[in-house]
């Protein structure tokens, strides 16, 4: 099916309370523009270089999200324009985001990536690490970043029980933190294969690539 058909089917089925991030990694500017021309404004990329290159040439009202693992030395390339960083997984990275944001006199919105999958390869912090970070003096002094929520990536499995357990774990933690941190509004979880289950378990931001643009090679 076409990108526009996929998008309109999705938009018809999603509640307004769920924000759709179109994951455009590896996709061409032309494909992105097809989504754009059908009203999509929020796009996610997982590589700094690709994100910057696309931001450079595509319409300026696109909201670009960084969804992939971010290295400290690359923050400077996206700090001036990125709308949301989904993948903060350590305080040193957050400090660097703050430092770059200050240069532009901006506040950069960030999500903390929490490790919910059992696989070794997935990035993210543990619950304890998140709490310790938020309680630290170092964190409290960062004035140019705002932690607006949490992000998680579930295990690479079709097992609905495992997925449900991982999503509901993050949802519970999100609700707990929201009580003490009023800026925590976003729960980013769910990809093409598991977004329905993620929404059932509290997600209000889904990151979809292949179900919009077709499979990546």
Closest CA to 84 of 137, 19, 13: 19
Whether 108 and 147 have beta carbons less than 8 Å apart is answered as no
Binding pattern to ligand PLP, positions 152-191, x when CB under 6 A? -x-------------------------------------x
Binding pattern to ligand PLP, positions 49-68, x when CB under 6 A? ------------------xx
Give 172 or 210: the residue with its C-beta nearer to ligand PLP: 210
H helices present in the chain, as ranges: 3-13, 29-37, 48-57, 91-103, 127-135, 137-140, 160-180, 195-200, 210-213
Q: With CB under 6 A as the contact rule, which of the stretches 10-18, 93-101, 127-135, 206-214 interacts with ligand PLP?
A: 206-214
Angle 35-59-94 from CA coordinates, rounded to 5°: 95
Task: Determine if 192 is a binding residue for ligand PLP (CB under 6 A).
Answer: yes
Give 13 or 182: the residue with its C-beta nearer to ligand PLP: 13
Residue nearest to ligand PLP (CB): 209
Q: How many CB atoms neighbour CB 210 within 10 A?
A: 13
**Binding to ligand PLP in span 67-86, by CB under 6 A:** 67-68
Shortest distance, position 137 Cβ to ligand PLP, whole Å: 30
Query: Which secondary-structure segment (H or E) carries 39?
Result: none
Q: With CB under 6 A as the contact rule, which of the stretches 30-38, 141-149, 159-167, 202-210 interacts with ligand PLP?
A: 202-210
Tokens at 161, concatenated: 């029980």
């Amino acid at each position: 099916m076409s990108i526009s058909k996929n998008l309109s089917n999705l938009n018809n089925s999603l509640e307004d309370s769920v924000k759709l991030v179109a994951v455009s990694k590896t996709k061409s500017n032309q494909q992105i523009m097809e989504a754009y021309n059908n009203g999509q404004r929020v796009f996610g990329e997982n590589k700094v270089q690709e994100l910057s290159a696309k931001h450079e040439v595509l319409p300026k009202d696109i909201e670009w999200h960084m969804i992939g693992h971010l290295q400290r030395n690359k923050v400077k390339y996206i700090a001036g324009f990125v709308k949301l960083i989904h993948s903060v997984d350590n305080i040193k990275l957050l400090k660097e985001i703050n430092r770059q944001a200050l240069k532009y006199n901006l506040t950069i919105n960030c999500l903390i990536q929490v490790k919910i999958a059992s696989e070794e390869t997935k990035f993210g912090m543990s619950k304890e690490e998140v709490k310790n970070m938020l309680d630290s003096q170092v964190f409290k002094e960062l004035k140019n970043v705002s932690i607006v929520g949490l992000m998680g990536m579930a295990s690479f499995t079709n097992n609905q029980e495992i997925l449900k357990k991982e999503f509901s774990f993050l949802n519970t933690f999100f609700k707990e933190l929201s009580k003490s941190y009023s800026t925590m509004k976003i729960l980013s979880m769910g990809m093409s294969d598991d977004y329905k289950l993620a929404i059932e378990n509290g997600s209000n931001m889904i990151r979809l690539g292949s179900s919009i643009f077709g499979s990546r090679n």
